[in-house]
Amino acid sequence: MTQDEMRQKASEARREAKALQQKLQTVTDPDERKMLARQMNDLFAQAASLRDEAKRRHYQEQSIERDFRCMETNLED
């Protein structure tokens, strides 16, 4: 999965979690509230995990590119 796809899936998960959060405000059944809260928390956690992984990959790519440029410069000298 690419970084953009990860960010997109994170946005979708967050959007779904926000929708569940709104629905949670109108639900009165305790069991259903627990289920919705659990789903909402899972979606928020999934979104955070996907965002963090996308950031980690981005920084890793930048680091590799810097290392490559450094090696290239050293070879030119």
User: Could you tell me the pLDDT band of residue 73, with boundaries at 50, 70 and 90?
Assistant: confident
DSSP assignment letter at 14: H
| 13-57 tens-digit pLDDT | 999 999 999 999 999 999 999 999 999 999 999 999 999 999 999
Check: CB of residue 43 under 8 Å from CB of residue 6. Answer: no
∠ CA 5-63-49, nearest 5°, is 35
